[in-house]
Amino acid sequence: MKSYKYLLIIFSLFLLTTIDSYSCACAGKASTDVYSCTSSDYGNATCYTSADVYQMTVTSGEFYNSTTGATWVLKSQNATYDITSQNFDYMPNIKKVKKGTYDKFRGYADNVFVVKGGFTTTDSKTCVTSGTQDSTYGDFRTAAIRTAGNKANVTITNKNFGSSTYHYTDANGNLIELIDTSGNRITSDNNADRIRVTYSLPTSMTLKETDSIDIKMLMKSTTSIRATYATSDGAGKYNCTSIGMRAPIFTMTVTQTPMQ
């Protein structure tokens, strides 16, 4: 029996997930504390807290050979989860193996997310999801985000990773792309349809039709709301500047059992 366990960082829109990014939790902080937080990946003056709602739609998952182009589609079906409260169980039992050698895993998700959450500092500065997504920054920046009673489900549509930027390689070497309905990388915000993440397996996996294979996938939201306090209130404290989401962590375990 061969067992492979891979940690995949996927759907990392707006932000990259690194160890340093977990170091500034919101809990117990004053607005001045959050203002002092630094991160080379996420930007400064930002802390992280758990979401009340984190809804996303996974569309497909596949193994892929980057040399030959061979693909084994494990599942192609939309499944929507609120990963703050639901178990993520996307992959089916594999009844027939598509033989071949695969060195990549590619995961696909809709580029539309629904989130809800927020935080109030110890010096009473609130930051909650509310209003309409800012078209420039991809987060929420209206005055409504500073009132706790305004907290609501909000929709985030990811159309770019920065002005005219539609792909990047994250800190873990994963290629993240926005693609159109044909699976091609987009060149315009208007064509965004899905997110594709290509993860390089630590070692190539060669499968035979007689192999038995089991795939288990887990996803957790961790601390998935990011709140930025960078607007001075004129009295030595800071108001909420923006609020947005951070990416989930996805874990896949593959167990391959060759027939003797």
Task: Give pLDDT tens digits for 139-181.
Answer: 999 999 999 999 999 999 988 877 788 998 876 677 889 999 9
**16 pLDDT band (50/70/90 cuts)?**
very low
Q: Give the total number of structural domains in the chain.
A: 1
Q: Residue 166: which domain range? A: 2-257
DSSP state of 125: -
Per-residue tokens: 134: 């800012």
Pairing mode of beta strands 154-157, 126-128: unpaired
Helix (H, G, I), strand (E, B) or coil at 236: coil
Cβ within 8 Å of residue 183, ≥6 positions away:
196
Q: What is the pTM of this model?
A: 0.80
Q: What is the DSSP letter of 237?
A: -
Task: Say what the pLDDT of residue 217 is.
Answer: 66
User: Which residues lie below 8 Å from residue 40, measured CB to CB, with a gap of 6+?
Assistant: 20
CA 226, CA 82: separation in Å to the nearest integer? 18
